[in-house]
Amino acid sequence: MKVNRHFSLTFVFGFPAVIGVILIGLIAKNHLDAVKKDIETEFHRVEEAFNRTTKVVTALDYSFTNYYRSGSTLTLDHNKQVINGLCRIWPIEAKLLADSKIADIPSVDIDYMLVGEESLCSETSDEYKGASEKISLAPILSFLSQLDEFHNGVHFIDRHGYVISSPESFAKGLSKEQLSTIKSRPYWQATANSPEQLTLNGPMHRFDSLDRIISMTSPVFHQGVYQGILSVDINVDKLLEVSNPLLAGKVDIIDTTLVTPSDTSIFYEEIHLEGVTSHHAIYYELDLTKEIENFFIYEKDGLIVAIIVYLFSVTIFFYVNSNIERGYFKDLAAKDPMTNLLNRRGLEAFWRRVEHDKLFALTIFDIDNFKLINDTYGHDIGDDVIRYMAQQLNSSIRSSDVVARFGGEEFVVYIKGDDRTSLVETLHRVKETICTRSVDIIPTGFTVSGGVCIVEAGGRKLSFTEIFKYADEKLYVAKSMGKDRIEF
């Protein structure tokens, strides 16, 4: 038996699922947009850091170039010491304050060191004289190295082989062998080959630590003669450290001439800095598992709403269906399945709620010799006769009247009228129409008999059982008197 429902079960579960998927899709899109925006923010932050470093290197280059023009000399006392064949020179004072300035003005912390061959410590050597003149710029290196937390150090590497470095930890970590090979390193060659621009080198690991660094370098010239290079070391891991918890992956930088990004790299973007020679790119390293975990963590409220919408929609559809099914089964219990007319239970329910404030008639129609029709033409034709009766009776009454089938070949008709005569005429007309057109169903046609109980308005209130019994007795009289008639 097919159950009538307003919504199919596929629709009940499917449509809310589609809505839920759309909501989750929108949530995911908004999440991805937010992630993309944060990645772009990180990229912009990194580029801005490189731009600031560019200004630091440019400022140092300007200072060193002007030093050569002005011929500045050393005015600060320094310590000198030879260790393991290397000369080290560092400031005696820990802080600097210009002459004639009051003590309330903040002084500058200085942290730098010169490192070179042992001859650098000899006051008669050319190296010492040259370094003594340049060391007046060392406090500037010390100050600029502290501008950003991701700056690992600022260095001037002279063409004669000595290094001015801030902080001093870098210089302290240099060995004699490392110092002797410093001019053969790739960044020295790359910088020397780009005299008009700054150069970005790395990432690489520093010799004295596990820190990954990128160096921003600039060559220093005087009267066309190469004097050395300025270098600002950038701690890559500090620079790229992502503080935004929404980003589960990491931002990284590569030299595209040496390394290619992995398959999980997304948002790949080449770095272009004005006045800087660079073959670098920045990208976001995707960690799919962590990204999904982050999605559920940060979008849990939206996902909960989507689930609630889904469950609420399914509940609503089930509620609608259950009401419709309840009504369907209620109707099914009150109706005859073959003819879709009311059955006895349905007629009695109708009787309880209708107002009997007018003249009405309850008629029982019965098909004459129905058993013979079944025996002669078969039960299928017998069923056609039943359905024909239902159709004729149903089409012959008004919407306010009712037809019911009480089983077998017995039909009950409830009709209202203004007077007794019109009711009698209507019932006779219905009977004649049924009998006349019955030849459309079986060749010989058939007749019907009826018993009627007419109840006057305002009379004694009779129960359905009493009225039905009276009509049934009249039907018995009609059958006894030869059939094909109506008894009132």
pTM equals 0.61
Of 3-12, 301-310, 361-370, 434-443, the range with the lowest mean pLDDT is 3-12
C-alpha distances (whole Å) from 65 to each of 115, 166, 199 are 21, 19, 18
Most confident of 220-224, 313-317, 378-382, 458-462: 378-382
Q: Please tell me which residue, 169 or 292, carries the higher pLDDT value.
A: 292
The pLDDT-based confidence of 258 (bands split at 50, 70, 90) is: confident
**Half-sphere exposure for 34 (CA within 13 Å, toward CB):** 16
User: Residue 461: CB partners within 8 Å, gap ≥ 6?
Assistant: 356
Superfamily of domain 29-292: PAS domain (3.30.450.20)
213 within 8 A of 234, measured Cβ to Cβ: yes
- If you average pLDDT over residues 241-256, what whole number do you get? 86
The pLDDT value recorded for residue 356 is: 78
pLDDT tens digits for range 138-152: 777 777 777 788 888
Cα separation, 267 vs 6, whole angstroms? 49
200 φ, ψ to 5°?
A: -100, 125
Please say if the pLDDT value at position 112 is more than 90: no
Please say if the pLDDT value at position 354 is more than 90: no
Q: Is 54 helix (H, G, I), strand (E, B) or coil?
A: helix
370 within 8 A of 439, measured Cβ to Cβ: no
Please say if the pLDDT value at position 3 is more than 50: no
Of 70-79, 275-284, 442-451, the range with the lowest mean pLDDT is 70-79
Structure tokens at 113: 């060191």
Beta bridge pairs of residue 165: 113, 155
The pLDDT-based confidence of 67 (bands split at 50, 70, 90) is: low
The pLDDT value recorded for residue 384 is: 93
Please say if the pLDDT value at position 361 is more than 70: yes
DSSP 342: B
- The reply to whether omega before 167 is within 30° of 0 (cis) is yes
- If you average pLDDT over residues 368-379, what whole number do you get? 91
339 within 8 A of 386, measured Cβ to Cβ: yes
> Residue 448 burial (CB < 10 Å; 0-12/13-18/19+)?
buried
477 φ, ψ to 5°?
A: -65, -45
Please say if the pLDDT value at position 190 is more than 80: no
The pLDDT value recorded for residue 71 is: 52
The pLDDT-based confidence of 69 (bands split at 50, 70, 90) is: low
The pLDDT value recorded for residue 99 is: 46
Tokens 């008709």, residue located: 413
- If you average pLDDT over residues 288-312, what whole number do you get? 89
The pLDDT value recorded for residue 364 is: 94
94 within 8 A of 109, measured Cβ to Cβ: yes
Q: Please tell me which residue, 161 or 338, carries the higher pLDDT value.
A: 338
The pLDDT-based confidence of 70 (bands split at 50, 70, 90) is: low
Of 304-308, 326-330, 356-360, the range with the lowest mean pLDDT is 326-330
Q: Please tell me which residue, 104 or 197, carries the higher pLDDT value.
A: 197
Q: Is 456 helix (H, G, I), strand (E, B) or coil?
A: coil
pLDDT tens digits for range 23-44: 999 999 999 999 899 989 999 9
114 within 8 A of 138, measured Cβ to Cβ: yes
Please say if the pLDDT value at position 102 is more than 60: no
User: Residue 43: CB partners within 8 Å, gap ≥ 6?
Assistant: 251, 267, 269, 282
- CATH 3.30.450.20 location in the chain: 29-292
Of 9-23, 56-70, 244-258, 286-300, the range with the lowest mean pLDDT is 56-70
Please say if the pLDDT value at position 98 is more than 50: no
Please say if the pLDDT value at position 357 is more than 80: no
Please say if the pLDDT value at position 79 is more than 90: no
DSSP 427-448: HHHHHHHHHHHGGGTSTT---E
Tell me which residue of 385, 365, 364 sits closest to 373, measured CA to CA: 385
DSSP 213-236: EEEEEEEEEETTEEEEEEEEEEEH
Please say if the pLDDT value at position 475 is more than 90: yes
Beta bridge pairs of residue 231: 155, 217
Tell me which residue of 111, 92, 115, 222 sits closest to 164, measured CA to CA: 115
Cα separation, 249 vs 259, whole angstroms? 19
475 within 8 A of 364, measured Cβ to Cβ: yes
Of 10-24, 37-51, 85-99, the range with the lowest mean pLDDT is 85-99
pLDDT tens digits for range 400-459: 789 999 878 999 999 988 888 888 999 999 999 999 999 999 999 999 999 999 998 776
The pLDDT-based confidence of 381 (bands split at 50, 70, 90) is: very high
Of 220-229, 235-244, 473-482, the range with the lowest mean pLDDT is 220-229
The pLDDT value recorded for residue 100 is: 42
Structure tokens at 73: 């000399």
CATH number of 344-487: 3.30.70.270
